[in-house]
Structure 1
Amino acid sequence: VFLRFWSLKNPFVKTDLQNLQEAQERFGEQGFTIVAVNVEDNREEVLKFIKPLALSFPVLLDPAGIVADLYQITGFPTGFLLDQSGIVESSTIGELTADVLEPFLFSLR
């Protein structure tokens, strides 16, 4: 699982989510799953923003930033690669492309 924290305040969020969608399409059949967590944005604004992106992975809302605080998020976007037990194996901050994400994802194998 790749857990991705993001915010509408980040100017590159659309490109980042599109890149994650590409990664989900490329690697989903190999067991890869993305979970995107929006932090501190309004639900209606998030829904309006993500609808045209047609994302195939779940987008969760963390309006109070409680989950983000648990992961000690200091900037957006931030991602965590979780193993099958939910243990954080590695993390990354900043925009990722599917090509950059590939070796990161398969480092667990």
Structure 2
Amino acid sequence: MKQKYITSLVIAAAVVAIGYVLFTNISVQKVGTEKGDAAADFTLPMYNGENHSLSSYEGDIVIMNMWASWCEPCTKEIPELMELHKEYNDQGVTVLTINMNSYERNQTEAEKFVEEFDMTQTPAMIDEEGEVADLYNLQYLPTTYVIASDGTITEKIAGETNFEQLEEIIEELL
């Protein structure tokens, strides 16, 4: 009788363990930095003085662009990103720019960059301590992530992008 009870407990524990593994691997999306992963959330200060999180834009398609003021490809693509934001913002697309401040020579150059390109028309964040750079394992500048309205990363573009490339991706997600 005691043996039967122990066997039943072991079987029940095994069923619970297997169920847990299946549940966590099937129903919970992996948070990460690659296509198909759920985008990792973070909170950063913005150039307008507020703090915002990536999750603040939940429900929007987010074009998350990481840049530095000394980066020539960043300088080339920012005007197109600002134009993309103007054209698609009313359709639920947010261009979120993040200055990789820990990569900057000095903060003054980053602030001049934001002013020069009128980047405050979009959410412009500052990664002061390199938190997002570490979280997203940043290897190249610029790097742009396209995040679907459900929070899933649909594209990761390491290097310069442009309006047309992003527009094609957005049109598929709308």
TM score, norm. by length of structure 2: 0.57
**CA displacement 1:5-28 (0-9 Å, x = unmatched):** 111231222221111011111211
Larger radius of gyration: 2
State which of 137, 143, 164 in structure 2 corresponds to 1:72.
137
Q: CA separation in 2, counterparts of 1:84 and 1:97?
A: 21
Native 8 Å contact 1:43 1:61 kept in 2:
no
The residue identity in structure 2 corresponding to 1:48 is K
Displacement of 1:107: 2.7
Aligned pairs for 1:28-39 (under 5 A) are 28-39=89-100
Count of paired positions: 109
1:33 partner SS: strand
Task: Calculate the aligned-residue CA RMSD, in Å.
Answer: 1.5
1:63 partner SS: coil
4+ aligned runs moved over 4 Å, structure 1: none
TM score, norm. by length of structure 1: 0.87
Q: CA separation in 1, counterparts of 2:149 and 2:124?
A: 20
Structure 2 segments unaligned to the other structure (5+ residues): 1-61
Percent identity reads 26
Q: Which has the higher helix share?
A: 2
**Structure 2 residue aligned with 1:24:** 85
Aligned pairs for 1:1-109 (under 5 A) are 1-39=62-100, 40=102, 41=104, 42-55=106-119, 56-109=121-174
Of structures 1 and 2, the one with the larger relative CO (CA 8 A, separation 6+) is 1
